[in-house]
A and B are shown apart, each in its own frame.
Chain A
Amino acid sequence: MKYVDEYRDPAAASRLAQEIRRAARHPWTIMEICGGQTHTIMKSGLQDLLPAEITLVHGPGCPVCVTPIELIDKAVEIASRPEAILCSFGDMLRVPGSGRSLFDAKASGGDVRIVYSPMDALKLARAHPERQVVFFAVGFETTAPANAMAVWQASREGIENFSALVAHVLVPPAIEAILQSSNCRVQAFLAPGHVCTVMGYREYEPLAARYHVPVVVTGFEPVDLLEGVSMAVAQLEAGRAEVENQYSRAVARMGNQPAQQRVAEVFEVSDRQWRGIGEIPASGLRLREPYRRFDACERFGLLAAGAREPKECISGLVLQGLKKPYECPAFGGQCTPERPLGAPMVSSEGACAAYYQYGKREHARN
């Protein structure tokens, strides 16, 4: 596959790893933000190619992990209504809310369907005018344009039986929250490539300057990640703190204008709860007033309810890179992929699940 295979080339990977080993004179802690990047790191065993000086920590890059419990509970509530069809991406189905997940709701008779695009949900709404079709609109900025288009289209065509349960989150405020934390150990960031395809990388420039951290916009294939790490290490060793773009084949500084415009038309910035972290101001998106009737909470009259994360779950600390999953007292005992206490154990990208999966390798190395 073009633009994929070349970035999985073993010789290129090896050469970049060599370069990193040569350049790294000091220990450095680097955080990658996106769940997809974590996935590649784990899947290709990338850590094995890095020298001991480089520690990768996995940030809150999986929206599954950072979707608040309350919203899962609302999705489950909606799914159990007979008139509703709840549509979601695959990843979300396993995340437990206060008690149940969407999978559980499905097992109890709820109409829960996996879709690959919000437009599939819209199609369902057109085909079933007698049902209420709800799309679980989770994601970073990458997915916002598609979700905005679905709502905009629904509005334009008058598909009034469609609504969206909105749980969008934004990356730069999350990075800032991590950097502001008093025990932040992260010295450089690999910014999520596809988020930047949409948004560009201007927003990271003030962060790099204010906190003196290098930010390298990085892609998702092994060669991309190695190059991103290499660029971050070069900056760290030289004492620089700039925003650089490794993923230049897919990212321009200003991002994708038509996509940003559609998002700005349909959504506005709002405060948002991050699971295990708490509220981060201005870190989410909600529907603007002219589109508010497509908000599923309004459509179904769902009130805000308090929801509790089990006390043992330290996911917030894990998500911020402050703790490794195996430093959590519940890890692997009370909290396992089969009985997760918190979201990082659930998602295949979640830091805890990734460690649990590849845990034996990590323990052997350390």
Chain B
Amino acid sequence: MPEINLSCPVPLPAGDRILLAHGGGGKLMNQLIERVFLPAFSNPALECRHDGATLTVGGARLAFTTDSYVVHPMVFPGGNIGDLAVNGTVNDLAMCGARPLYLSSGFILEEGLETETLCRVVESMRLAAQAAGVSLVTGDTKVVDRGKADGIFINTAGIGLVEHSLSIGPQSVQPGDAVILSGDLGAHGVAILSVREGLEFEAPIVSDTAPLWAPVEALLKAGIEIHCLRDLTRGGLASTLNEIAGTRQVGVRIREVDIPVEDAVRGACEILGLDPLYVANEGRFAAFVPAVQAQRTVEILAQFPVCNGAIIAGEVVEDAPGVVVLLSRIGGNRVVDMLSGEQLPRIC
């Protein structure tokens, strides 16, 4: 019986080289993690395979995470690499249910980068940190030869405080849980592509990069028994759902009619031959909560502009463990698989 975990296939090379696909958030990246990183560093926190690690230190529960930002172009409608670097790490902490507190930031700068650009990025980081209520407390700077760094690469690591007693992560997901989306999909990926491909918009599509702790905090304060949170970054909603389904060995069912996508994003995806389910987001997350609390969760989220459009999109089931199935608009069923690498635009 073939392994049900497939998608736009990428031929694996004889394994001797890293491909761009290994960074795509899809199957190849997961394989790289499984085969190279996990065996080398194995420990219980890492084995949870969540966005961040939840650790007990002294009497406190802390969340700890890291992320690197290599986006090109550096500046795009709605933000720049600096916004992503702060919000992305803040959000990974929020996805652990942790109050984000402190960030570190390591910069790898390319020789020849305009100082003005760097200042602009740093200023964005300052504002983003302020908006998210975090302090950047330590950092590092390196400069590499021209041609070795695409302008700027940024790594941020973050520490947050876990102030509740829930265990938020894939391991807590249960059949029967509701799958909740915090808002519409695809804005960030399309904003990036619009620069690369010279797309024009009647009303520009801007990246949805935003900090997500406030809505998560509201859910925790309201006593929602959050089982799992996951932000929908590289590989989009499809990859996130597949990761959870795979790690926890449950099935996930979602409904196409309940997946919000803005018209212009949809138009862009149609003409570029992309599927919004796989397009990157930077200010959107999925929440897995008990079914009885689903409606309440949506109501709480809807109070926040960043969660405008929050909706119950599906449920977790026991059936077909590891498989994500979408009920299409016309009533047929489709397995939503994990991409092997980056989603490639198709013209077929």
Contacts and interface: CB of A to CB of B under 8 A. Distances in A.
B344 A90 contact: yes
Contacts of B7: 337, 348, 357
Given A336-B6, A339-B12, A353-B6, A49 B331 contact: yes
A94 B8 contact: yes
A174 B334 CA distance: 29
Nearest to B263: A1
Interface string B1-24: 111101111111100011111000
Contacts of B329: 8, 10, 44, 222
Given A94-B8, A100-B13, A44 B334 contact: yes
B337 A357 contact: yes
Contact of A48 (B197, B267, B332): B332
Nearest to B4: A360
Contact of B335 (A338, A339, A361): A361
A17 to B, nearest CB: 8
Given A35-B348, A114-B345, A338 B12 contact: yes
Contact of B332 (A1, A46, A62, A331): A46
A356 B1 CA distance: 10
B348 A331 contact: no
Nearest to A64: B348
Nearest to B12: A338
A44 B332 contact: yes
Interface string A315-338: 000000000001000011100111
B330 interface: yes
B4 A1 contact: no
Interface string A131-148: 000000001000100000
10 contacts: A89-B347, A90-B273, A104-B13, A107-B18, A139-B347, A222-B328, A332-B3, A337-B340, A356-B9, A358-B335
Interface of B: 1-4, 6-13, 17-21, 27-28, 31, 197, 263, 266-267, 270, 272-273, 275, 320, 323, 325, 327-335, 337, 340, 344-348
Interface of A: 1, 4, 8-10, 13-14, 34-36, 39, 42-49, 62-64, 89-91, 93-96, 100-101, 103-104, 106-108, 114, 116, 139, 143, 222, 326, 331-333, 336-340, 345-349, 353, 356-361, 363
